[in-house]
Structure 1
Amino acid sequence: MDDLRVLIIDDEDVAVTGHSEYVRRVPGFAVAGTASTTQEALRFLAGTRVDLVLLDLNLPDGHGLDIARALRAGGHPADVMAITAAREIELVRAAVSLGGVGYLLKPFTFADLRDRLEAYRRYREGLAAADAASQSGVDSVFRELRRPVLATDNAPKGLVGSVLDRVIGVLRAGGPEGLSASEVGGEVDVSRVTARRYLQYLADSGRADRGQRLGGSGRPEVTYTWSGP
């Protein structure tokens, strides 16, 4: 599949720059363009192929959902992911009713957006691979969009979100052979016991797989491999 082309719509220059940098860091995505108003966005969409719109809802010349409505009315195939500080349930419901594929609240981290973009890409790949729809196939495709994202900012009691982020990063880069608690602890600069608590949490939440390998003493050593989205 070619890179998915993303239009970023936000009236704050800092946000546009940050979102663009985030998108470029995720493999399989490219920034198609940016816009700061509804009219600018609609002109861009009328003449350029876009797969996904990252949409701020508060724009100077209208509401972001007006763009989503115009897309649907005009039959434009671009999907929409709201990225906003707006927390009103009515807006969430409206975004869902317009076929939104995500609703990400500001402020957010790179990991927050990356996980949602990766889930969206799996969703698109599932659609592209299907010759015809079956119920199980449809369920599988939509499951990718609705898969819970690990909320590292709300880590369980006793775990620190920033450390959990670093542990996840080490596991992601660790490869299929897996890493031990000692190895992860060395990378994150925490003790083996502390690293094991984070790794066990990830395994218990379905984001890491446990395995075994022979340690230096010949005894089995528990390893962990990243399995989350």
Structure 2
Amino acid sequence: MNKISVFIVEDEPIVLEVNIGFLEKMDEFSLIGMSTSGKDALEKIKKLKPKLVLLDMFLPDISGLDVLVQLRTERIPSDIIMITAARDAGTIQEVMRLGAIDYLVKPFRFQRFQQSLQNYCKMVGKIESLQMLNQEDIDKWLGNSENGIDLPKGLNEFTMKQILLGLGSAEPPITAEQLGQNLGMARVTVRKYLDFLAGKDKVQIELQYGNVGRPTKYYSLK
């Protein structure tokens, strides 16, 4: 497989430098362009048609969300990983509905960046190696079977993906209540998904004991 072409949209010079440095550590990818504003990014992306765009949400002229909408409207064949400080559930849901393949919350570590791009690289390799995909392949591509997890009745794929994205973007470990606040979900709902993931050995639980009462559960991805 040829190197995957990447275009970075980021208006903060330090963050841009960090993202470029992260990308240069990954041999499967090649940076073909960058921009510090939304309108300039749209022009260059339409011309260069990168395979992958790392797109900041907050830009000086138009928002990254506006850029994403325009790219989708014009059917530009670029996949999007959104990079932003926005953590509200409404924004995350909107971005996911528009087809972003991942959502990285600033500040993030190289391990999370690497995980996101490696997963994308595997997906691209799988799709390019096959003319026809079976249901399992499609589920993995769409994120409908995270790490091979079959969801029981009462748990849905969309919420599970939000939980996993939120957990991966948070500073670990985190409580169900904290994650619920980040995602705009009820603590009880979040805990149900987290405990299910822990039972599947996808999430690690740490117990912290206070002076009184039950211990507090802290969750992190394995």
Instruction: Establish whether TM, by shorter chain, passes 0.5.
Output: yes
Equivalent position amino acid for 2:60 in 1: P
Q: Is the 8 A contact 1:120 1:145 kept in 2?
A: no
Taking a change above 3 Å as real, the CA distance of residues 11 and 3 of structure 1, as seen in their structure-2 partners, is: same
Task: Say which SS state the counterpart of residue 59 (structure 1) adopts.
Answer: coil
Alignment of 1:1-229 (within 5 A): 1-143=1-143, 146-147=146-147, 153-155=171-173, 205=201
Equivalent position amino acid for 2:62 in 1: G
Q: Deviations over 1:41-67 (max 9, x none)?
A: 011112113011111111110110111
1:221 is matched with none
Equivalent position amino acid for 1:36 in 2: T
Structure 2: gaps of 5 or more residues: 148-163, 175-199, 204-220
| 4+ runs deviating over 2 angstroms | 140-153, 204-207
Deviation at 1:143, TM superposition (A): 4.4
TM-score normalized by structure 2?
0.66
Q: Is the 8 A contact 2:82 2:102 kept in 1?
A: yes
Q: Deviations over 1:147-184 (max 9, x none)?
A: 4588595259xxxxxxxxxxxxxxxxxxxxxxxxxxxx
Q: Tell me how large the CA RMSD over aligned residues is.
A: 2.7
Deviation at 1:146, TM superposition (A): 4.4
Deviating more after overlay: 144-153 vs 112-121: 144-153
Q: Is the 8 A contact 1:82 1:102 kept in 2?
A: yes
Deviation at 1:145, TM superposition (A): 9.1
Larger Rg: 1
Count, aligned residues: 163
Structure 1: gaps of 5 or more residues: 157-203, 208-227
For 1:122 and 1:81, how far apart are their aligned partners in 2? 15
Task: Say which SS state the counterpart of residue 26 (structure 1) adopts.
Answer: coil
For 2:74 and 2:60, how far apart are their aligned partners in 1? 23
Deviation at 1:27, TM superposition (A): 2.2
For 2:93 and 2:131, how far apart are their aligned partners in 1? 31
Q: Is the 8 A contact 2:49 2:77 kept in 1?
A: no
